Structure 1
């Protein structure tokens, strides 16, 4: 049981919302259900993404006056190269999936944001990260950014074992793969939190996130100011993205 009385050390940063029209310069299938797409454009010289789990909005034409909008994590970017890398988890339906299935070099992409960042410090004594496939880009980026010596355990859900990936990092990282949401939740149930100040980060389907937050906050008494729980999607619900508190 951890002390639940600290104040948050997460820094909230607001960004000017900028819409950009970018060129697709590379399309790569990195596993059966993931595509890595590199976008380029002069306007990326001012692009800002201050946190590994930021999200940008993609705007997709859908034959109506209002485009369909979907949130995606900036996997990486370079102001100098004027490039932005985004990874698409392919779920087989919806405007984003349709676009990513058909996209080719020379196409354009319309994006907006990020509108803000929540910067989670890297100097916690330990960190736990939970995620399904939609969280892999954010997890990858966080592990790349963590310094040597940082202690982090990642519990990652891949329904298809072929979507498992390497997570390059300098950190002291333990990667645990599971095959189902039940296994992921059971691991959290059985896990005993380490001593010292730690941070828990979770991003996945809404029902998984609700269960994880209940386990860590209600059952294990983890500090509410040292956990972030984000529902990146919800079963049978389009365009869903929600912070769970």
Structure 2
């Protein structure tokens, strides 16, 4: 079994667009880092406590659950896509959307060649069924690295319809070539600059009657509304979609509301996740609670 945590060293920096910065990470500390090969593969970057300078890490089980040693300070981390993995020697590209107030973004903007950061073993969620003949890929700028890698790995016979929200035309990226792919860029949409149109797009795009797959990544409330549509209107089974909240608008306000939530409600949520019941049904209940309390 591969190690859970690795020390990565900054090898290079590249400004991809005005709103996206790429860091290439490598070094001897990544020699045992393996890849899942999954298109939306992600990992977490862990940062030291601001006051003490001490790095606190969770205990992560093989199924991805986190546990925390008693009395340990809060863990400071951020989740990012592995845009590209290269072996021998191991190097990874991680793309950062530039924005105000982000822990990892602030680090990336200041990072110099030779700086180090601790990362964990990557995981992935995208799981297109073998019989899928098409896929609908919808995201904002935060999902662009994953969308690009997914497209890069998509077989030639699968049709890909893509909609990507970006702040401006300057934030478009050159996507990997695919003979059966079409992308529509949604400018001045979502990304904290304007209301998102992702839900509108998913609700309006005509879907083929043949087997397919839907992948969506973006702001968590936007994705939540799309998930309702996919489950309640399209009535797709879970193996036909992966809908992921990559970030939270007004995150500080969300954190404050969560901290103030009745402990009994939190216990109810935890009991649901640990119940062993259908994960999608539990998520329905969880998201209903979030919506009820303005989260």
Q: Give the secondary structure class of the aligned counterpart of 1:177.
A: strand
Residue 129 (structure 1) aligns with: 137
CA distance in 1, matches of 2:86, 2:208: 36
Residue 4 (structure 1) aligns with: none
CA distance in 2, matches of 1:126, 1:170: 13
CA radius of gyration, larger in: 2
CA, structure 1 residues 48+118, in 2 after alignment: closer, same or farther (shift >3 Å)? farther
Given that 1:122 and 1:146 are in contact with CA atoms closer than 8 Å, whether structure 2 keeps it comes out as no
CA distance in 2, matches of 1:46, 1:107: 19
Residue 117 (structure 1) aligns with: 124
Residue 161 (structure 1) aligns with: 169
Which moved further from structure 2: 194-203 or 64-73? 64-73
**1:154-200 C-alpha deviation (Å, 9 max, x unpaired):** 11110232111111133510101113244322221212221111110
Match of 2:147 among 130, 134, 139: 139
- Counting matched residue pairs gives 228
Residue 41 (structure 2) aligns with: 54
Residue 11 (structure 1) aligns with: none
Matched, 1:229 2:238: no
Q: Give the secondary structure class of the aligned counterpart of 1:156.
A: strand
**1:26-49 C-alpha deviation (Å, 9 max, x unpaired):** 011111111100011224333222
TM-score normalized with structure 1 length: 0.85
Match of 2:229 among 185, 197, 215: 215
Given that 2:17 and 2:171 are in contact with CA atoms closer than 8 Å, whether structure 1 keeps it comes out as yes
Q: CA RMSD in A?
A: 2.2
Q: Which of the pair is proportionally richer in helix? A: 2
Match of 1:176 among 150, 166, 184: 184
Structure 1 residue 16, shift from structure 2 partner: 4.6
**1:6-35 C-alpha deviation (Å, 9 max, x unpaired):** xxxxxxxxx755211121110111111111
CA, structure 1 residues 43+106, in 2 after alignment: closer, same or farther (shift >3 Å)? closer
Q: Which of the pair is proportionally richer in strand? A: 1
CA distance in 2, matches of 1:69, 1:156: 26
Structure 1 residue 216, shift from structure 2 partner: 1.9
Matched, 1:152 2:143: no
Matched, 1:107 2:121: no
Match of 1:63 among 48, 51, 61: 51
CA, structure 1 residues 122+174, in 2 after alignment: closer, same or farther (shift >3 Å)? farther
Q: Which has the higher contact order (CA 8 A, sep 6+)?
A: 1
CA distance in 1, matches of 2:129, 2:88: 25
* Structure 1 unmatched ranges of 5 or more: 1-14
TM-score normalized with structure 2 length: 0.71
Which moved further from structure 2: 99-108 or 174-183? 174-183
Q: Give the secondary structure class of the aligned counterpart of 1:129.
A: strand
